[in-house]
Structure 1
Amino acid sequence: IHPYGKILGDFRNGDPLVMEFASVDRRGSSAVGIGNVTKSVSLSSFELTESEPQWFEWTGYLEKGYEPEVRFRNGTAAAKRLVRLLLNKADQFPEFQPFAQMKSSGEKGYERWHGTLKAYQGPVLRVWEIQVDGPHIEEWPPVGHDTLYGNLSPESLSWEVIEDRLVRFAKLAFRRPPLEGELRPILDMVQGKLQEGLAPLNALQLGFQTILSAPGFLYLNEGEGELDEYALASRLSYFLWSSMPDNELLESAEQGSLKDPAVLTKQVERMLADPRSKRFSNNFLRLWLELDNIGKMPPSKEFVSFYRDNLEFAMRKETELLFEHVLQKNLSPIELLNADYSFINRELAAHYGMPGLQGNEFRKVSLSGTERGGLLGHGSFLTASANGVDTSPVIRGIYVMNKLLDYTPPPPPDDVPEIEPDVTGATTLREKLVRHRADATCAQCHNKIDPAGFALENYDPIGAWRLSYDRKLKVDSSGRLPNGKTFSNPSEFRDLVIEQKETFLRCLTKKMLTYAIGRPTNSGDRLVVDGIVDEMQESSNGLRDLVKKIVLSETFRGN
């Protein structure tokens, strides 16, 4: 709690202080200091609820070239600006008046600066000590060391031992046994280096390095036609874990049992139960909903809360947690659209107009009585479909139709000019689009995409609810779908989307199949997609079942 009101800007009086630990890259930045970074990654955050000093610990990975940085996540302005703000209001606060009269340079400038900060009675984050320990190794020898060397010693490295170790390593690196003659050039090179006097350990390491530069490691060459056992293991592993197959998958491939539908289904269940399956949830969502757009087109600085409350992270996390929940509980994929709950933290709740939620951790929260529900109400969905500055019913409409209803309009004709927003605020984009659709050529597509965009106009560029635009023009979120059905608000539009269950299931199936096989679906996959969608129409089938059906499909198991 502080006595300075709005002088401190948008700092929410009474909120717990939040310390953030970030990883920053200053290479290429023109200056050194907070904010002068070229890249930044939020690693963790901690609520400060005690007045006495506390230790906080984080263990993780810092990319090469990055350095740790401690931030006052929901704090006030930087110290330099804070002093200026306080001294400008010194007439309201007697404690600052002596310093306001001092010179801003020289010895008095130093006293003016530090005296103001000492007299300041607002929220402060004081870092007493930072310790950095590394590298952090959970066990010794590390798993990677054991994979490479096992129990070998430098004295035991005969040529036969080196050759055997390289062949075994290549089987792991290539995710399959090496083809006949595939390792011969590498083995001949290593043997030649040994004959030239290179130490055996260095020769072995040179062999490892060369294998990791070979096409068998760098490329997923799955061949033509039906996948063999090893290619199937790799496709399954990269689909659900975004990584190479583990020993159990490779053993199933070696035994020739992986193509058995029962074995394959059992492997899918095992892999989805593994924590590594979160990579599938997160990476698939990034492809399907283009969630990376949130960071590529960051909102303008006027949206203070987006940066202060780390909403980019929170928005992604909300969508990831909902998808993970539906997947692990094997709920119907339609739950992604009609869920009357979500997984949010205090900052996202405040952004959604749901005050009173305490704590920075994410938890399941009812959305009853709010303007939210399912993906169409997620901040990630709404921010990824905007450009960070304003909203466009056309852009959002295309996004909704493509991501949820399997429709992508053709490019507009070359002779059709872009629709420019009215910067004076005298007319809305809806009014401009009415005139635009008077052209029959334009109307054909806009009648399909614009209604979905109009339906979401109550959400601003970062997904906050609004009833009017900046210039006080009232938002109109009503519309008519091509099938003649009408809606008057986002909730009614969401109900109309949910009614199109088969269309949504087809869209989701095609998006997930594309992610699984690494290429867009085409006309040759239509029968497979139709079959999966028909089976998914049964109410007992959930999102996990969709994953299994994709893995068991002819398209997934062949090229």
Structure 2
Amino acid sequence: MVGVSSDGARTEPTGVLERRLSGFSLSGLGFYHGNAAIDRVEIAGPHDATGPGDTPSRRKLFTCRPAGDVEAAAEQCAREILATLARRAYRRPVTGADVDTLMRFYDAGYAERGFEGGIQKALERLLVAPEFLFRIERDPVDIPAGTAYRLTDLELASRLSLFLWSGIPDDELLRVAEEGRLGEPDMLERQVRRMLADPQASALVENFASQWLQLRRIRGVAPDADIFFDFDENLRADMERETTLFLESQLRGDRGLLELLTADYTFANERLARHYGIPGVYGERFRRVPVDPGQRGGLLGHASLLTLTAYPNRTSPVLRGKWVLDNVLGMPPAEPPADVPALEENHGGRKVLSMRDLMEQHRANPACASCHRVMDPPGFVLENYDAIGRWRDTDEAGAPVDTAGALADGTRVETPAGFREALLAYDVSIVRTITEKLLGYAVGRTMEHYDQPVIRRIVYEAEADDYSWSSIVLGVVKSMPFQMRSAES
């Protein structure tokens, strides 16, 4: 409300964020439990909460000002402002009826608080209008149910801006659509490339990463504080930030999709670099840093994803293997039977077993064996990473980590680096999987069997451009599922 931001919910006097300890009293465990400590507060005006102030958004909003306080002049200016805003909000040319509806609310607000009160009241009405809140695509008149038809240019503009920017079309995109030129292949490609270069395209990275990689789930994970005592809110936020910055660098650089798995760099600040064992990185600022290819490379070395695919107290070859099969290779394993018993954990009073030994016991159950033969091998290859993504050479039993694993075709791999190299043999499957996830994100539905020819075509045509981000995005935008829809009954 006052422009105050914080990196976390609580801070210690030292400036280090407390870790969350669910179910325990912090004071009872001896942790800091005094008054709230604030590291920094920045407050920017206007300081009068009820005053109008002068901000860039207000200057853009008020495209005119009435001359004096003459009611007629104020009404004319209000019509101009509301017509401009309604065109953007509704993503189409506005009608006289659209503006008249808003003006009725303006009149009510004007009677109470003058010109700006009227604009505020009309804006409140505009922001709850169904045409602003929903993407409305109207079927052509007298078209039979189930008939496929092409979207209008204005509808296509809305889909495009929501896909790439998670927002409404800007003036240029809306103007091109109103002129009926957005459907022209050259113009469409020009607009897509322009939009990808715009800072608003960061929304594509953040929201697609959340859906494909489920990255935002990192905010809810809670590693066991007794085991991973140095995991806290700062580190959690740094993990998410690393992956977001990495993906954005790939999109901005128009890199090939396979580099998501092979990149020899990442983004880190001092805290995350220390977590990874990367020397020479100081301060809170994130910067691009090289990584040891023997230990990390691409997304499979990111602590965010490694933490998401682990349990609070240990790693999980099952979760990690399933994640690779589903989100990278597009080969999701079958769902487990309902009556499969849970993995028997290590407990005190007996010899500590390695994760591989525990999984061998679990696979002894015939009901478990068939799925785990597929899921476990790619997960074992990632056992060098603990449950919060740190590199380790010994396992829970104190023995050297055994990372021997295999791919679905039987290819044996021994290390994470070898795993990344072996995955490149599945280049088409990997690109097809990411393309399917991206197309599903773009159209807002799960892909079906009848979408597969379209996905294969996008991948085939993108091969000539080394599967660059722009070639895949353009393929999605030009595809039939994106540009067409079926008439409803």
TM range (shorter): 0.7 to 0.9
Cα deviation, residue 212, structure 1:
1.2
1:149 aligns with 2:62: yes
Instruction: Work out whether 1:134 is the aligned partner of 2:134.
Output: no
* 1:205 and 2:133 correspond: no
Contact in 1 for aligned 2:294/2:416 (Cα 8 Å): no
| Mapped partners of 1:195, 1:140: distance in 2 | 19
Q: Distance in 1 between matches of 2:283 and 2:101?
A: 59
Per-residue CA shift, 1:215-258, capped at 9, x if unaligned? Answer: 11111123454222122112211222222111111111111111
Letter in 2 for 1:232: L
Higher mean C-alpha displacement, 142-151 vs 256-265: 142-151
Residue 215 of structure 1: aligned partner: 130
Cα distance, 1:543 vs structure 2: 1.7
Q: Partner letter of residue 305 of structure 1?
A: D
When residues 71 and 256 of structure 1 are mapped into structure 2, their CA distance, relative to the original with a 3 A threshold, is: farther
Q: Which residue of 1 aligns with 2:249?
A: 325
Q: How big is the shift at 1:478?
A: 1.0
Instruction: Say if 2:325 is the partner of 1:404.
Output: no
Residues 152 and 530 of structure 1: is their aligned pair in 2 closer, same or farther, counting only changes over 3 Å?
A: same
> Counterpart of 1:403 in structure 2: which amino acid?
N
Pairing 1:175–2:91 present: yes
Partner of 2:22: none
421 and 474 in structure 1: CA distance in 2 versus 1, 3 angstrom threshold: farther
Report the Cα distance in structure 2 between the residues aligned to 1:352 and 1:197, rounded to whole angstroms. 60
The AA in structure 1 aligned to 2:211 is L
Residue 190 of structure 1 contacts residue 207 of structure 1 at CA under 8 Å; is this kept in 2? Answer: yes
Residue 73 in 1 paired to residue 16 in 2? yes
Q: Residue 508 of structure 1: CA displacement? A: 0.6
User: Is residue 2:157 matched to residue 1:246?
Assistant: no
Deviates more, 1:252-261 or 1:408-417: 408-417
Say if 2:211 and 2:441, in contact at 8 Å, map to a contact too: yes
**Residue 274 (structure 1) aligned to one of 168, 186, 198:** 198
Q: 1:217 to 1:355 in 2, by over 3 A?
A: same
Distance 1:508 1:411 in 2: 22
Paired AA for residue 554 in structure 1:
M
Task: Give the Cα separation in 2 of the matches to 1:336 and 1:300.
Answer: 30
Distance 2:282 2:76 in 1: 64
| Shift in alpha-carbon separation, 1:274–1:190, aligned structure 2, 3 A | closer
- Residues 517 and 556, structure 1, Cα contact 8 Å, conserved in 2: yes
**1:136/1:186 Cα in 2 relative to 1: closer, same or farther (>3 Å)?**
closer
Q: 1: CA distance between counterparts of 2:384 and 2:110?
A: 74
Residues 421 and 429 in structure 1, CA contact (< 8 A), matched pair in contact too: no
Q: Which residue of structure 1 aligns with residue 299 of structure 2? A: 375
Structure-1 residue corresponding to 2:184 = 260
**1:419 maps onto 2:343 in alignment:** yes
Partner of 2:230: 305
Alpha-carbon distance in 1 for matches of 2:111, 2:153: 40
Q: Distance in 1 between matches of 2:403 and 2:272?
A: 23
Distance in 2 of aligned mates of 1:195 and 1:459: 63
* C-alpha deviation, 1:401, in angstroms: 1.4
1:22 and 1:71 in contact (8 A); partners too: no
2:201 is paired with a residue of what secondary structure?
helix
Contact 2:64–2:77 under 8 Å retained in 1: no
TM-score, normalized by length of structure 1? Answer: 0.72
Identify the match of residue 492 of structure 1 among 412, 418, 425: 418
Give the conservation status (yes or no) of the 8 Å contact 1:502–1:533.
Answer: yes
Amino acid at match of 2:403: S
Rate the CA distance shift 1:198–1:493 in 2: closer, same or farther, 3 A: closer
Contact 1:505 1:536 in 2 (8 A): no
Structure 2 CA distance for partners of 1:159 and 1:358, relative to 1, 3 Å: closer
Q: Percent identity?
A: 35
CA distance in 1, matches of 2:42, 2:192: 42
Q: Is the 8 A contact 1:469 1:475 kept in 2?
A: yes
Q: Is the 8 A contact 1:328 1:544 kept in 2?
A: no
Contact 2:260–2:298 under 8 Å retained in 1? yes
CA contact (8 A) 2:87 2:94 kept: yes
Q: Secondary structure at the match of 2:267?
A: strand
Task: Pick the aligned partner of 1:478 from 393, 404, 407.
Answer: 404
Deviation (angstroms), 1:390: 1.6
**Structure-2 change in CA distance of 1:166 and 1:355 (3 Å):** closer
Change (3 A) 1:431 1:324: same
The count of corresponding residues between Structure 1 and Structure 2 is: 451
The residue aligned with 2:159 is 235
Alignment partners' CA distance in 2, 1:131 and 1:322: 29
Q: What residue in structure 2 maps to residue 463 of structure 1?
A: 389
Equivalence for 1:517? 443
3-state DSSP class of the match of 1:322? helix
SS in 2 for 1:305: coil
Flag the 1:186–1:131 CA change in 2: closer, same or farther, 3 A: closer
Q: Classify 1:134/1:488 alpha carbon distance in 2 versus 1 (closer, same or farther; 3 Å).
A: same
* Highest RCO, 1 vs 2 (Cα 8 Å, sep ≥ 6): 2
Aligned-residue Cα RMSD (Å) equals 3.5
How many Å separate the matches in 1 of 2:228 and 2:366?
A: 38
Deviations 1:92-141 (A, max 9, x none): xxxxxxxxxxxxxxxxxxxxxxxxxxxxxxxxx998x966443499x974
Residue 474 of structure 2 corresponds to residue 548 of structure 1: yes
Matched, 1:502 2:428: yes
C-alpha distance in structure 2 between counterparts of 1:150 and 1:185, whole Å:
20
CA distance in 1, matches of 2:265, 2:119: 56
Indicate how the Cα distance of structure 1 residues 162 and 262 shifts in structure 2: closer, same or farther if over 3 A, else same: same
What secondary structure sits across from 2:464 in the alignment? coil
State the partner residue of 2:145.
none
The equivalent residue for 2:21 is: none
Q: Deviations over 1:512-537 (max 9, x none)?
A: 11222222222232111010111223
Give the direction of change, closer, same or farther, for the CA distance of 1:135–1:285 in structure 2 (3 Å limit). farther
Three-state SS of the structure 1 residue aligned to 2:175 is helix
